[in-house]
Each structure stands twice: as structure tokens, then as C-alpha cells.
């Protein structure tokens, strides 16, 4: 069954800790994703990993690196991240990307690849042997609150056809109206951003989306 995964996208340590303290208390949450942006690959810069204290080990933490050509992953490991998600488009070529994936795996971490909505799923074909975890962007990366891109449903199916046993995440634009449909399309993890972080009551919003997911 598909799982809801809250995300944290903040630019200050104070804001990060405020969102962090709420999300770790959400019922049934065992996985949280943290977004990192360098102001180059995406226009906005987010709180760097160096300013984050060691994370709660009871949660499986994912680092979503919206960063141009990331090569050093040690700080993420020290912080407590278990999964490192890098962008296909962030590397100059597939060789450099594969080297990064090998490095992540050699550190005992799970490597995953994210692709933008405009990147064809078939771009992952040469990586099928190197990864078991894919993240599809349902919005333009780097911003929360953008509308969900409807072609994401068929892209989920395309990943399933290309990599039948891969873990598939969908990030961006998930809400109570589309969560069930995204899960039905074949997603394993549904990343929640502004649908809960910008809501008047995070818990109520989360439970509403969870209710919609359970009806699927």
C-alpha cells in the first residue's frame, strides 16, 4: 500500500525545526523527505545540511538534492539520512551520475534518481541496473504549492513498465483530491509538501489526505 511521506523545504534553521517538530509527530509517519537547493539547479537556496542537527533515528530520512552536480554525501550520512535522491539532470552525463550512485551505495546509503516532468522516463533505461528507487516530479522542482502535472500518472506507469520492481515516489502537488489516483497509478510513496506545511492545521490536513488514500 502507498505511504504518505511528509517533506521539509525551509530556508532557515528555525523554520526547519518548527516543521520538523510537527512532522515527526504525525500518526503513522515512518519516512520524511528533506529538500535541499543550491540556488543554481533550482532558483531558491534552502537550509544547507551542515546546519541541520542529527535527525531522529526512528524516522527513515530521505535527502532530495536539488543541487547541481553533487559529489560529496558524507554530511548527509552523518546527519542521519538513509536515502540520497539526486537529479538525473544535475549531472553533465550518465557516467558522472553513475559514479555518484556507486559512491552513495558504497556508503551504505540507498541511491535514488529524480527526474523532472519534462525529462522522458526512457532516460532512466541505462540506469535500471544501478538503481531501485525513482522519484518523479509532479511539479517544477524547488517550489511548493504548484499545481500537479496531470501527465505524471502515465509517467508512473512508464516507470513501472521500465523498472517493475523499483520503488516509485511522486513529489509535488499531492493533495486530498489526487492522492488516491496517484497511488492507484502505481506510486509507492507520495511526498507531501505545501498541502500540509501551508495548511492551517497540519494534522487535520494530513489525516484528510490519508483518508483519501485509504479509500483507494
DSSP 23-43: HTTSTT--EEEEEEEBSSSSS
Q: Is the pLDDT of residue 22 over 80?
A: yes
Instruction: Report the Cα–Cα distance between both ends of the chain, in Å, rounded.
Output: 10
pLDDT 10s digits, 123-159: 999 998 889 999 999 998 866 668 999 999 999 999 9
Mean pLDDT, residues 152-172 taken together: 97
pLDDT 10s digits, 82-112: 999 999 999 999 999 999 999 999 999 999 9
- CA dist 104 and 81 (Å) reads 11
Q: Is the pLDDT of residue 167 over 70?
A: yes
What pLDDT shows up at residue 216? 62
Q: Which residues of 19-41 are buried (b: 16+ CB within 10 A; e: fewer)?
A: bbebbeebeebebbbbbbbbeeb
Furthest C-alpha separation in the chain:
45
Cα→Cα distances 86→73, 133, 134, Å: 11, 11, 10
Write out the three cell numbers for 150: 496531470
The fold of 3-214 is TIM Barrel (3.20.20)
pLDDT 10s digits, 173-192: 999 999 999 999 999 999 99
> Is residue 117 within 8 Å of residue 151, measured between CB atoms?
yes
Cα→Cα distances 170→22, 48, 55, 132, 191, Å: 22, 23, 23, 15, 6
Q: Is the pLDDT of residue 54 over 90?
A: no
- CA dist 160 and 149 (Å) reads 18
Contacts of 26 (CB under 8 A, 6+ apart): 6, 202, 203, 206
Mean pLDDT, residues 23-27 taken together: 97
Amino acid at each position: 500500500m502507498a505511504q504518505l511521506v511528509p517533506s521539509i523545504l525551509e530556508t532557515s534553521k528555525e523554520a526547519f525545526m518548527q516543521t520538523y517538530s510537527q512532522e515527526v509527530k504525525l500518526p503513522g509517519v515512518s519516512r520524511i523527505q528533506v529538500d535541499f537547493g543550491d540556488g543554481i539547479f533550482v532558483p531558491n537556496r534552502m537550509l544547507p545540511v551542515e546546519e541541520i542537527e542529527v535527525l531522529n533515528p526512528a524516522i527513515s530520512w530521505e535527502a532530495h538534492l536539488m543541487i547541481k552536480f553533487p559529489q560529496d554525501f558524507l554530511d548527509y550520512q552523518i546527519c542521519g539520512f538513509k536515502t540520497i535522491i539526486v537529479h538525473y539532470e544535475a549531472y553533465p552525463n550518465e557516467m558522472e551520475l553513475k559514479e555518484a550512485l556507486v559512491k552513495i551505495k558504497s556508503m551504505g546509503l540507498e541511491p535514488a534518481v529524480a527526474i523532472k516532468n519534462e525529462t522522458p522516463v526512457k532516460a532512466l533505461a541505462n540506469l535500471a541496473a544501478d538503481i531501485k528507487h525513482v522519484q518523479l516530479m509532479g511539479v517544477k522542482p524547488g517550489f511548493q504549492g504548484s499545481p500537479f502535472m496531470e501527465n505524471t500518472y502515465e509517467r508512473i506507469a512508464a516507470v513501472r513498465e521500465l523498472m517493475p520492481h523499483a520503488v516509485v515516489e511522486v513529489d509535488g502537488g499531492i493533495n486530498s483530491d489526487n492522492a488516491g489516483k496517484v497511488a492507484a497509478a502505481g506510486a509507492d510513496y507520495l511526498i507531501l509538501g505545501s498541502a500540509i506545511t501551508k495548511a492551517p492545521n497540519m494534522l487535520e490536513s494530513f489525516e484528510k489526505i490519508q483518508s483519501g488514500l485509504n479509500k483507494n
